Each structure stands twice: as C-alpha cells, then as structure tokens.
Amino acid sequence: MSFTVTASSYTPALGAATRARQKLALAIPTLREAANLPGLLHDVRAVLDPLEIDYEILVVDDDSRDGTKEIVTAISQEDPRVRLLVRKGERGLSGAVLYGWRHTDAAILGVMDADLQHPPELLPALVAAILAGNDLAIGSRYIAGGQLGAWNPVRKWLSSVAVWATLPIQRVGIRAHDPMTGFFLLRRECIEGILFQPSGFKLLLEILVRGHIRSVKEVPLAFGSRAQGASKANFKVGWDYAKLLGRLYLERYGFGHRA
C-alpha cells in the first residue's frame, strides 16, 4: 500500500514576511514512549515559541496503551497546539509520519523521534534553513560536527553501508550525507501527490529520490542515547528498507515509474 500527502489550503510564500508566518507541523511518532513525552513536549515548545512561526506538534501514537494518550491529552488541554493522533492495528515509522502529515494543513512538515535521541535544540536551525529558502533541512550525523552516538562498531558499519548504497539513486547536486536520518523538515509542496511506502522507517530517502526537492541544507546532529521506549528497528523494518531500496533503484534507472 502507498500513502499520499494531499494538497493543503495554504498560500505559497511570496517573501520573507510571508515565510515567517507559515505554519510548521512537527510529527512525533511514538511507540511505548510515554515517559519521555512530558519533558520532550516541554522542550520542543520552549525552542519553537521564540521563533516567528506558527506551529503544531502532532504526537502520532501506534496505540501504545502505556499512558501516552492520557499524558498528551492533558498537555493538549493546556496547549491546543499539541495534538494526539492514535493509529490502531498499524505499525511502521514512515506510515505514522505520513498519517500525521495528512492530518494538518501546515506548509512546513517535520518529524523527530520521541526517544530523546533527537535534540529539540536543533529545531531553530532547521526552521531557519527552510525559511531561508531551502526545500529540505536535515539533522545530519554524517557532516562535520555530527555524531552517531554510542553505537557499537557493527551498527556504525551497517549504517555507513546503508548510506553508501543510496548514493547511485540520489540526484547529483542535492545528495544528502545522511539520507537515513529521522529528524528533518521540508516544504509540503515538494511531496504533494506522491505515493510513499508507509512501511519501514526510511521516509527521508524516498523523499530525496522521489520528491520535488531542489535544495537541501544539512545541519550537524549529535545523535543522543535512547532514553525509554521500544526501538522500531527490527528484521521486518530492515526487509522493508531493502524492498524500498530495490524499488527506488528500479525507478531511478528506468525499470519502474514515478507516481
């Protein structure tokens, strides 16, 4: 099954003042990460509030039943910019993100993890990159200043191989050093009407290959350690990535079709 991000009702930016008033929708997919949410949502709002941009935070929960619903509902009653979306009978990081983006009219779309590995303090730099005119702003572990964190050597090697495998299908001129990151913002207009694979957790790679991206800005990301919650990386997710990579290769070299 594929997933489409449909058109929104916003008016495209005409200048700096208009861009500053565009709304950001930040999707935070969750799976048994309730303990992280009070602090994370506080910190995200604390760094976004000083910026000249409207925003909403979409907590997209895969029916964790661990108190996430109660925690987010209580926060949203105090701050309606925080919204809870619950998916039942579904799994998949990419699908959760796309589900959140479908439920907003924001002109700028974003995603970050709820496991505290993505520092909210990076959000102002990502927002600034979008408002400066870039289509896509990425929190990158593979540029100067970026760090992979406390990964073991085998996981670091696998990650490097996975990144290397994407180079032939990324477009020259907008290749990202970290196409596997889950912390990024983009302009909604760059992905409208495109069918995306909802399974797996490498949505950014598909956006880079299939989206209408003209410019990419990478911001150094120092990857943190997981606090609580369940890792979404497993054999099925790895298999989903392999299938996605194969499909993108076929499309890139003329054996498939672009949606």
Residue 10 belongs to some domain of the structure: no
Give the residue numbers spanning the domain of 236.
Answer: 15-252
- Name the nearest CA neighbour of 57 among 95, 104, 117: 104
- When pLDDT is cut at 50, 70 and 90, the band that residue 5 belongs to is low
- When mean pLDDT is compared over 159-173, 186-200, 208-222, the highest value belongs to 208-222
Residue 57 lies in a domain: yes
**Does 258 fall in a domain?**
no
Tell me how far the alpha carbon of residue 245 is from its chain's centroid. Answer: 18
pTM of the model: 0.84
**90-99 average pLDDT score:** 90
Tell me how many domains the chain contains: 1
Question: Residue 2: inside a domain, yes or no?
Answer: no
Compute the distance between CA of residue 79 and CA of residue 16 in angstroms, rounded to an integer: 27
Q: What is the CATH number of the domain that holds 231?
A: 3.90.550.10
Tokens for 211, please give them.
Answer: 């989206």
Is 111 within the bounds of a domain? yes
Report if residue 115 sits inside a domain: yes
Tokens of 133: 């005119």
Are 208 and 176 spatial neighbours (Cβ–Cβ below 8 Å)? yes
According to DSSP, the β-strands at 136-140 and 216-220 are parallel
Residue 136 has pLDDT above 50, yes or no: yes
In a domain, residue 7? The reply is: no
The 10s digit of each residue's pLDDT in 10-61 is: 333 334 444 445 899 999 999 999 999 999 999 999 999 999 899 999 999 9
Given a cut of 70, whether residue 157 has pLDDT beyond it is no
